Amino acid sequence: MATTFSYEGKFSTRSKQTAVSHPRHAIYDFAVAYPPPEIVPFDGLVEGLRKGLEREGHDLVYYTERNGNEALREFTAQKLLDDRGISTTPDQVFMTAGSGEANYVLIKALSDPGDTVVTEQYVYVGTLNQLNNHGVNAVGSPIDDDGLIPEALDELFTDLTAQGKKPKFLYTIPEHQNPTGSTTPTERRKQIIEICHRHEIPILEDDCYVDLRFDGEAQEAYASLDTTGMVMHVASYSKLLVPGLRLGYFVAPDEVTSRAVGFRSSGTANHFASLAVEGYLTDYLQDHKDDLAESLGPKANAMVASLGENFGGTGARWATPQGGCYTWLTMPEGTPMSDLVDEAFDAGVGYLPGSNFAPNGDGQNCARLCFAYETPEKNRDGIACLAEFLDGKGLMKSAPAD
Amino acid sequence: MATTFSYEGKFSTRSKQTAVSHPRHAIYDFAVAYPPPEIVPFDGLVEGLRKGLEREGHDLVYYTERNGNEALREFTAQKLLDDRGISTTPDQVFMTAGSGEANYVLIKALSDPGDTVVTEQYVYVGTLNQLNNHGVNAVGSPIDDDGLIPEALDELFTDLTAQGKKPKFLYTIPEHQNPTGSTTPTERRKQIIEICHRHEIPILEDDCYVDLRFDGEAQEAYASLDTTGMVMHVASYSKLLVPGLRLGYFVAPDEVTSRAVGFRSSGTANHFASLAVEGYLTDYLQDHKDDLAESLGPKANAMVASLGENFGGTGARWATPQGGCYTWLTMPEGTPMSDLVDEAFDAGVGYLPGSNFAPNGDGQNCARLCFAYETPEKNRDGIACLAEFLDGKGLMKSAPAD
């Protein structure tokens, strides 16, 4: 049998070749999407796991109930009440392999190929890819520094509905948005809930960055402001602790959850990781959030300060985030940030171009900058390096301020 | 907002309500699908995790490459070579959330709704559900005590192809099959490979029980007998160690893997669990397999002996497994094992009726009995209890032997 078996004509119609990506890391790596590596509580997680295994290790031989580990769901329901004012029960919490899986199954349960979904003007690229791969038409709604603009959203809903493209749902990251770093104020959220009710369009609220606040006060969650079941609430332990844990969750009405379940490829969320997370956070949630804030604040401040020093007076604008991992740099119209990614990488600075996040390819002059991964010093120096690189290209209208 | 938001008309066409199941546990619980709970190496896994975190914990902040943790893939490639004679590379190993996810994504990559797939006459219910939920027509091929009968398979392929229903692939568990406990001898596998080549039908080999052998010799894997890429090989660490780890893998040609990836809901397989497994098995694979065999052998022997004592001379037949978790009881034609499940449960014995595993509903007179979970004593007593129950129903032609 020297011949090679041919799979030609044997693949399903919906299957697609997916390329293997090998991410590169620049000297100043602002292209990543990572929380601070230096405060991951390895010992605490191992100890949490040991405690959990002592208590209920033998239950690991069961494929336990579909919603995931009960102790972690109890902890999560209490956390949602304490931190977000969301009243739910452990039975309504559904654990997933990261918030990505939660979004994936909800998208599949609520939309068919050809359907329309509304997102922020710039949207998390992972979710955008999920929508695109499912054949869903994502339409971005205008934003400002406070996130979605209610009046523009209302108008967009009306227009799309008139075109026979009534949106199946609104996907939004209202707190420390990825990629723009903005947070939508509570008052706006109330307006948006009224608009969504009027149009009968549910909200998929992705709250995965809410634990990463280092300044100011969290705004009220859509899922606490609405009590009719119109809001599906997604969140994550991967950002709070460490992405490799792959643990997120969602809370939605039973009729939604019971349909979303069927789109999971993976079965019950990992119980091993669940025990570690529950065991650690039960004792150390507030301590860990404090550590995270102490790490993130100086990193964000260093990057924002360096943006001021190096990009002030050039016509560039940037977000001043109160949490999360990202700021968003908007260069003057026509600055080809999308085209310059590789050259900037070679010059030492990694970033993701704004166009990666735009359903319609907008944002060629924008860049998402992750401040969470590098040190404050590298954040400061890397922004100076980026300014120098752009200056060398003749793209900085004034010299950086001294 | 006192009204409740209505999702009527908002769900996708392929979404279905999924009921919440609450499994009950009988006094003698042979309905389960669990390996021995008493030998799960909790301390070893915690220690393995600690070692792994020390070595590469900081990499957990990355969403690492799509195929899963590199150290575990290296270990797995070596294990496939040592244990199964399968020559592969770490890059070709793709880690998944249990073997269930591996089967799920391969099914999706290789079949559309309405397609036909051939399985054993009785097939693992998890895979059968995946095929049914995807709208694929599963057709069982005749088996005997040695698994698939090559001549019957050849005939079935020919018939289905003539009907315009050429099978997209053959799904088989050749080693310690779930549910029947049979193992297909190497010589038969060679015949089946020849048949599949002639019909140009690839093989999805699910080898998830191969590490659970306590008697005799493993037969050669389809994936080692064929070197043309016709065989996709799925296996698991969940059965070897503990299901709650949710770690399996597959090896397939790149063109298959690159398409299967897109059907994952969950992203990269859990790195936390991966570190624990690699850390433990690197030092203790053989020891653990020995422990497993020492546990499983007496359990299987006790159940088989009790079947002989209690069902001998009644016209019942049963498998004498050399590994895995199950034996398969075939009562005389007309014995309504499917209808008696609830009553038998109340009498103390849990089992799964054979009809659960048959694509066409056959097997009403059969039962899958898991010998791996209960103690040898409970296996012996539970079989006696089952005989007593059936005798009380007038379904045992002779009295149990004394």
pLDDT single digits (tens) B77-103: 999 999 999 999 999 999 999 999 999
User: pLDDT band at residue A398, thresholds of 50, 70 and 90?
Assistant: low
| List of chain A residues whose C-beta atoms are within 8 Å of the C-beta of residue B243 | 60-63
Q: Which two tokens stand for residue B237?
A: 């660490």
Q: How far apart are CA B183 and CA B186, in angstroms?
A: 9
A7 CB neighbour count, 10 Å cutoff: 19
Quick check: is A379 in a domain?
A: yes
Please check whether residues B221 and B298 belong to one and the same domain. Answer: no
Please check whether residues A61 and A148 belong to one and the same domain. Answer: yes
The answer, for B246 touching chain A at a CB cutoff of 8 Å, is yes
- The share of chain B scoring above pLDDT 90, in percent, equals 84
8 Å CB contact of B112 and A40: no
Determine the distance in angstroms separating the CA of B400 from the nearest CA of chain A, rounded to an integer: 33
Quick check: is B88 in a domain?
A: yes
Cβ under 8 Å to A: B residues 272-331: 272-273, 276
Please check whether residues B114 and B233 belong to one and the same domain. Answer: yes
Cβ pairs bridging A and B (under 8 Å): 274
DSSP H or E segment with residue B44: helix B42-56
Which of residues A225, A249, A284 is at a domain's end?
Answer: A284
Helices (H), A231-270: 254-260
Task: Inform me whether the pLDDT recorded for B3 exceeds 60.
Answer: no
The answer, for B227 touching chain A at a CB cutoff of 8 Å, is yes
A195-209, B55-69, B231-245: which has the minimum mean pLDDT?
A: B55-69
8 Å CB contact of A12 and B112: yes
Cβ under 8 Å to B: A residues 44-83: 45-46, 49-50, 53-54, 57-66
Determine the distance in angstroms separating the CA of B90 from the nearest CA of chain A, rounded to an integer: 14
| List of chain B residues whose C-beta atoms are within 8 Å of the C-beta of residue A373 | 61
User: pLDDT band at residue B1, thresholds of 50, 70 and 90?
Assistant: very low
| List of chain A residues whose C-beta atoms are within 8 Å of the C-beta of residue B244 | 59-64, 270-272
| List of chain B residues whose C-beta atoms are within 8 Å of the C-beta of residue A50 | 46
pLDDT digits 0-9 by tens, B242-261: 888 889 999 999 999 999 99
The answer, for B131 touching chain A at a CB cutoff of 8 Å, is no
pLDDT digits 0-9 by tens, B259-301: 999 999 988 899 889 999 999 999 999 999 999 999 999 999 9
Quick check: is B3 in a domain?
A: no
The answer, for A133 touching chain B at a CB cutoff of 8 Å, is yes
* Reported ipTM: 0.91
Q: What is the mean pLDDT of residues A186-203?
A: 98
Quick check: is A177 in a domain?
A: yes
**Which residue is associated with the tokens 């990543």?**
A32
List phi, psi (to 5°) of A249: -165, 165
pLDDT digits 0-9 by tens, A308-328: 999 999 999 999 999 999 999
Structural domain of residue B295, as residue ranges?
Answer: 28-40+287-392
8 Å CB contact of A270 and B97: yes
Distances (CA, A) of A333 to A44, A123, A394, B33, B55: 48, 20, 14, 61, 46
Please check whether residues A234 and A274 belong to one and the same domain. Answer: yes
Average pLDDT, chain A: 93
| List of chain B residues whose C-beta atoms are within 8 Å of the C-beta of residue A37 | 58, 61
Q: How far apart are CA A386 and CA A378, in angstroms?
A: 12
8 Å CB contact of B272 and A271: no
Report the amino acid identity of residue A153: L
Please check whether residues A269 and A354 belong to one and the same domain. Answer: no
The answer, for B1 touching chain A at a CB cutoff of 8 Å, is yes
- Do residues B347 and B353 touch, judged by C-beta distance below 8 A? no
CA atoms within 13 A on the CB side of B292: 26
A381 CB neighbour count, 10 Å cutoff: 18
The structure's pTM equals 0.94
A62-76, B43-57, B195-209: which has the minimum mean pLDDT?
A: A62-76
Number of folded domains that form chain A:
2
Question: Is B397 or B80 the better-scoring residue by pLDDT?
Answer: B80
CATH number at A188 reads 3.40.640.10
Which of residues B261, B284, B307 is at a domain's end?
Answer: B284
Q: How far apart are CA B317 and CA B301, in angstroms?
A: 15
Quick check: is B323 in a domain?
A: yes
CB-nearest to B46 from A53, A110, A260 is: A53
The answer, for B113 touching chain A at a CB cutoff of 8 Å, is no
CB-nearest to B265 from A49, A61, A263 is: A263
B35: closest chain A residue by CA: A61
8 Å CB contact of B259 and A227: no
| List of chain B residues whose C-beta atoms are within 8 Å of the C-beta of residue A98 | 266-267
CATH number at B307 reads 3.90.1150.10
Determine the distance in angstroms separating the CA of A398 from the nearest CA of chain B, rounded to an integer: 37
The answer, for B163 touching chain A at a CB cutoff of 8 Å, is no
Quick check: is A23 in a domain?
A: no
Strand partners, A234: A206, A250
The answer, for B166 touching chain A at a CB cutoff of 8 Å, is no
Q: What is the mean pLDDT of residues B105-115?
A: 96
Cβ under 8 Å to A: B residues 21-50: 21-22, 32-37, 40, 42, 45-46, 49-50
| List of chain B residues whose C-beta atoms are within 8 Å of the C-beta of residue A202 | 5, 7, 10
- Do residues A255 and A261 touch, judged by C-beta distance below 8 A? no
pLDDT digits 0-9 by tens, B373-395: 999 999 999 999 999 999 999 99
Please check whether residues B210 and B292 belong to one and the same domain. Answer: no
Please check whether residues A326 and A388 belong to one and the same domain. Answer: yes
A1: closest chain B residue by CA: B228
8 Å CB contact of B42 and A53: yes
8 Å CB contact of A227 and B270: no
Output the pLDDT for position B398.
65
Determine the distance in angstroms separating the CA of B262 from the nearest CA of chain A, rounded to an integer: 7
Which of residues A231, A251, A284 is at a domain's end?
Answer: A284
pLDDT digits 0-9 by tens, A204-244: 999 999 999 999 999 999 999 998 999 999 999 999 998 88
B115: closest chain A residue by CA: A12
Determine the distance in angstroms separating the CA of B384 from the nearest CA of chain A, rounded to an integer: 25
Q: How far apart are CA A241 and CA A237, in angstroms?
A: 6
Please check whether residues B159 and B53 belong to one and the same domain. Answer: yes
CB-nearest to A4 from B100, B228, B373 is: B228
Quick check: is B5 in a domain?
A: no
- Reported in sequence order, the residue ranges of B165-219 that DSSP labels E, i.e. its strands, are 170-172, 203-206
- Do residues B121 and B362 touch, judged by C-beta distance below 8 A? yes
| List of chain B residues whose C-beta atoms are within 8 Å of the C-beta of residue A60 | 40, 242-245
Please check whether residues A306 and A160 belong to one and the same domain. Answer: no
Angle between helices A125-133 and A98-110 (to 10 degrees): 40
8 Å CB contact of B255 and A53: no
| List of chain B residues whose C-beta atoms are within 8 Å of the C-beta of residue A272 | 45, 244-246, 270, 272-273, 276
Q: What is the mean pLDDT of residues A89-118?
A: 96
Output the pLDDT for position B24.
82
**Which residue is associated with the tokens 């019957």?**
B152
Q: Which two tokens stand for residue A53?
A: 């295994």
The answer, for A197 touching chain B at a CB cutoff of 8 Å, is yes
Q: Which two tokens stand for residue A296?
A: 């993130």
Output the pLDDT for position B139.
98
CB-nearest to B5 from A6, A40, A202 is: A202
Quick check: is B10 in a domain?
A: no
8 Å CB contact of A263 and B15: yes
Determine the distance in angstroms separating the CA of A396 from the nearest CA of chain B, rounded to an integer: 33
8 Å CB contact of A11 and B253: no
Strand partners, A370: A326
Task: Inform me whether the pLDDT recorded for A62 exceeds 90.
Answer: no
Output the pLDDT for position A244.
83
Residue B80 class from Cβ within 10 Å (0-12 exposed, 13-18 middle, 19+ buried)? buried
Q: How far apart are CA B88 and CA B279, in angstroms?
A: 21
CB-nearest to A10 from B13, B110, B228 is: B110
CB-nearest to A57 from B34, B42, B202 is: B42
- Do residues B39 and B268 touch, judged by C-beta distance below 8 A? no
Please check whether residues A231 and A321 belong to one and the same domain. Answer: no
Residue B121 zone, left/alpha/beta (φ > 0; ψ -120 to 50; rest): alpha
Please check whether residues B237 and B103 belong to one and the same domain. Answer: yes
Please check whether residues B274 and B291 belong to one and the same domain. Answer: no
Strand partners, A139: A118
Determine the distance in angstroms separating the CA of A17 from the nearest CA of chain B, rounded to an integer: 5
